[in-house]
Amino acid sequence: MFQLDYMDHSPLYEQIKEKIKALIISGVLKPNERVPSVRELAQSLTINPNTIHKAYKELELEGYIYSIRAKGSFVTPINRKINPGRQDDLLLELEKLVSELAYLNIPQEQLLSRIEEIYKKGRQRNHD
């Protein structure tokens, strides 16, 4: 499914969170689709189930998946409201990032075109 980078200093559960989130955002994992079980993923990554559990728990808190005891974990359909305040955090982070890019003289057009591309891809996925 994906691999961990042991050179990366960020905690394993963070990496797992990011990978799963990316799979959801990119549409590889569809709404209400089942995510690998805690044990399955732990085995395939050869790490401890507790670490997966922690990653899943945080993904659930952030609204990306939901877990049902004795059933498994599933991708949250988007119409459900994702953790409010999360959007504001992301927008703030975006502003910081863009400020730095502007400071480094990255041309504005480059940013705008990248963003348009990303949104275009997103719309394509929704039309599938």
Residues contributing to the site for a second copy (CB under 8 A): 6-7, 9, 11, 21-22, 24-26, 61, 66-69, 71, 78-80, 82, 84-87, 90-91, 93-106, 108, 111-112, 114-116, 118-119, 122
Task: Give yes or no for residue 50 binding DNA (CB under 7 A).
Answer: yes
Binding footprint of DNA, residue count (CB under 7 A): 25
Task: Give yes or no for residue 127 binding DNA (CB under 7 A).
Answer: no
Q: Which stretch binds DNA (CB under 7 A): 25-33, 43-51, 75-83, 86-94?
A: 43-51
| Residue 72: strand, helix, or coil | strand
Q: Measured between alpha carbons, how far is residue 17 from residues 13, 23, 56, 95, 100 in Å? A: 6, 10, 7, 23, 26
- Residue 25 binds which of a second copy, DNA, none (CB < 5-8 A, kind-dependent): a second copy
Task: Give yes or no for residue 108 binding DNA (CB under 7 A).
Answer: no
User: Residues 54, 41: contact at Cβ < 8 Å?
Assistant: no
| Residue 64: strand, helix, or coil | coil
Q: Residue 67's CB: how many other CB atoms inside 10 A?
A: 16
